[in-house]
Chain A
């Protein structure tokens, strides 16, 4: 028998290498996630019982036109070849052309996503700025009338159809009271007055110093943002309430009170400080959901956002557009996850 050589002492992995591995792992996971997303969406697009050629040529096209377009779209090729070609094109930055809009998908996304971004961001701000204080209030006044009212409001936010609420909002605030502007992103007067830089009209008009356009855009934005913000508020306040109730029962809260800290400091600084980490996840999820586009809100408010774009494309099996939209949605989720991780580290020293 040969005696085993004594194991060489392990050298500590350099920090740079560790980080490199971490980055590689992250990139690998990301690539796998996007690949899976694309594959699943692609396969769904192929099994839905709708002929994609119909979207391109309509119902009346003669057979030779139909066959030609089918071939142009690559639909006469085996599925794996179709998918390979698509992924190869995406890796070259080409998301293809939309059959329905005749535009490059990237150009469509650049046009539709900022509209959704603008709406979702303001809605999330409303949801967070109102939802967290409301949730805290409900937790502090647990089982009192304030709590009951807030819980009912939250429940309504979950259960009232957004479509109905949007229409009622329009009837009341737009038609009867005239407090807000109607559907669409701008009045006809202001269309194309401001050069498109980011696609976010509030930002573009502010950068151009066109404050009348800014006001008009805000007047159009506020109602759909309030409607979506209400749904975000319902979710955020409910989660805040339950997280706060748990924290308020902890011993450190009792200790803080015994030590004579003011009630406001106990609640807002210590208890709320401890629920901020899980709340970041709650808010990120809510924001990501809104950034996917709210089809019904966009429909009621004639808001040209990504939700309508993806849904319309899906119903017409405009797969380049659907896959492009999927990449956007995937990127939004990944981006917000990253942001959440960074915020965790900022809020919780243990995570650093």
Chain B
């Protein structure tokens, strides 16, 4: 009894003083729970991860931008006007006057030239978005110029579809930085890269107060922002890896937004009267890659049969509801030339017929590499069950995403399930990777998804490349529509779903903009009542 008393006493001591009620989030701060451990750098010339893109999208601006409701419509952002010359290669941008950086410095053409030049010369991971237009560290000084303080010209190596070039200028890598401020922090010719990894020098509505890797980032309103001031001046994003924890924090009111809830969590809080949801389609496509080195997968009938053996609707209903939608073409919804055709549905007799035609009436055994996390492993298990009905025995090889990708890049997989998100808002980003493979040899320097699946398509590659040179936007869109329809029929890709981003939030907080890309998840409109 004495011991029991002692134990209870100890517990009481331990919890003493702890049982206070905890206040809601601060009124001047939006608090989010989100998985942010993908951030490697916040330098716009280097950031290429989803979370880093989101931060930079709130901190920096580009010369031109697209309408979030209709991405086919382009408009000037930091550029007041923009035009392409008669040679089809020289683009001229007149800058909007009176724009200031967060430092208070006024933006001039020198900042734009510096920003583009540093991105090209540093040539970090997203640098290819600019270098694909022929800019190199040796020629960028000649091709990116400032004729006067408010005018910038950019000259590409050859004629491209203007829309292609403009969309690439909307990417984070094309963000305009405060040249004077960044130069102050340059070290050993690094273009201020080390400093910009954790600081900001932009014109956007927010500035970076801090980023603690794997822990949190904090943004403050930019006092010199040229647009309407953010409705909530501070944003605090805490790294919460576990989605169940995100849900608890949201229910308790300790965060305003939970950003990575899965189907189970969303269903669990669906009827919670304190919680509402924002959502929007994101460009990430979930697909199966079928390696053409495999003797079974090389047969066109097998490829087609596998497309009929996916229970798209069943998986959507039971595994993905709310976080993915059925989508069967390589361009995401909203992209120029995107189609919504869904020619495939689960059809076991048809699949069996195709397998018999391929000389495999009893099916075959195959391995599938898949990430061992929701929703990929769940989808894979559903496929395993439905394919078994046609005699196809799937051996699932679970791994971490980088493990799966390493194997995929080495073309050592048989079937792989992965997700692909567009690098920028132009259709070429996905067309190039899904429908282009100029060199199918192991020595190829362009490891597109078509290459990774050993899909040798010289003709389709030429048409894909031709599309980026078509200056008429309507004709260009129609080329992509045709490419996708052909791709749906013949490609060794089973494209299945497109991501829907859902942000669950407290009812008193609203106005978060979930855009079509990760860099237009904007915080400035969030209002706390």
In whole angstroms, how far apart are the Cα atoms of A182 and B399 in the complex? 31
Q: Which one, B3, B25, B40, B238, contacts A184 given CB within 8 A? A: B238
Task: Given A54-B402, A65-B125, A175-B251, decide whether A129 and B241 contact each other with a Cβ distance below 8 A.
Answer: no
Contact A187 B17 (CB under 8 A): no
Contact B7 A167 (CB under 8 A): no
With a CB–CB cut-off of 8 A, which chain B residues contact A179? 15, 18-19
With a CB–CB cut-off of 8 A, which chain A residues contact B131? 62
Task: Given A167-B244, A222-B15, A308-B214, decide whether A175 and B7 contact each other with a Cβ distance below 8 A.
Answer: no
Q: Which one, B22, B236, B239, contacts A302 given CB within 8 A? A: B239
- Within 8 Å of chain A (Cβ to Cβ): is B31? yes
With a CB–CB cut-off of 8 A, which chain B residues contact A57? 124-125
CB distance from A66 to the nearest CB of B (A): 9
With a CB–CB cut-off of 8 A, which chain A residues contact B22? 178, 181-182, 187, 219
In whole angstroms, how far apart are the Cα atoms of A168 and B185 in the complex? 48
Q: Which one, A60, A181, A188, contacts B125 given CB within 8 A? A: A60
Contact A299 B26 (CB under 8 A): no
In whole angstroms, how far apart are the Cα atoms of A184 and B123 in the complex? 37
In whole angstroms, how far apart are the Cα atoms of A251 and B276 in the complex? 70
With a CB–CB cut-off of 8 A, which chain A residues contact B17? 215, 218
Q: Which residue of A lies closest to B215 (CB)?
A: A304
In whole angstroms, how far apart are the Cα atoms of A100 and B215 in the complex? 13
In whole angstroms, how far apart are the Cα atoms of A101 and B49 in the complex? 13
- Within 8 Å of chain B (Cβ to Cβ): is A80? no
Q: Which one, B15, B26, B248, B400, contacts A188 given CB within 8 A? A: B26
Contact B240 A315 (CB under 8 A): no
Contact A188 B6 (CB under 8 A): no
Q: Which one, A63, A170, A317, contacts B402 given CB within 8 A? A: A317
Q: Which one, A188, A222, A312, contacts B37 given CB within 8 A? A: A312
In whole angstroms, how far apart are the Cα atoms of A138 and B126 in the complex? 63
With a CB–CB cut-off of 8 A, which chain A residues contact B14? 126, 222, 226
Task: Given A49-B407, A101-B213, decide whether A63 and B18 contact each other with a Cβ distance below 8 A.
Answer: no
Task: Given A59-B409, A102-B197, A167-B244, decide whether A175 and B252 contact each other with a Cβ distance below 8 A.
Answer: yes
Q: Which one, A65, A137, A192, A218, contacts B18 given CB within 8 A? A: A218
Q: Which residue of B lies closest to A53 (CB)?
A: B406
1/0 contact trace for A299-311 toward B, CB 8 Å? Answer: 1111010001100
Contact A302 B242 (CB under 8 A): yes
- Within 8 Å of chain B (Cβ to Cβ): is A61? yes
Contact B405 A102 (CB under 8 A): no
CB distance from B469 to the nearest CB of A (A): 20
Contact B123 A189 (CB under 8 A): no
1/0 contact trace for B403-420 toward A, CB 8 Å? Answer: 101110100000000000
In whole angstroms, how far apart are the Cα atoms of A183 and B405 in the complex? 32
Contact B127 A299 (CB under 8 A): no
In whole angstroms, how far apart are the Cα atoms of A61 and B127 in the complex? 9
Q: Can you name 20 extra interface pairs (CB under 8 A) apart from A62-B446, A178-B19?
A: A51-B409, A54-B406, A57-B125, A58-B125, A63-B447, A64-B445, A65-B124, A68-B123, A100-B214, A102-B197, A111-B215, A134-B7, A137-B3, A174-B248, A180-B18, A181-B18, A181-B22, A299-B242, A308-B241, A316-B402
Enumerate chain B interface residues (CB-CB to A < 8 A). Answer: 3, 6-7, 10, 14-15, 17-23, 25-26, 29, 31, 33, 37, 40-41, 48-49, 123-128, 131, 197-198, 210, 212-216, 218, 236, 238-242, 244-245, 248-249, 251-252, 254, 399-400, 402-403, 405-407, 409, 423, 445-447
Closest 4 CB pairs of A and B: A101-B213, A63-B445, A51-B406, A304-B215
Q: List 13 A-B contacts (CB under 8 A).
A: A51-B409, A57-B125, A59-B409, A65-B124, A65-B127, A102-B197, A102-B213, A188-B26, A189-B23, A192-B210, A215-B20, A299-B242, A302-B242
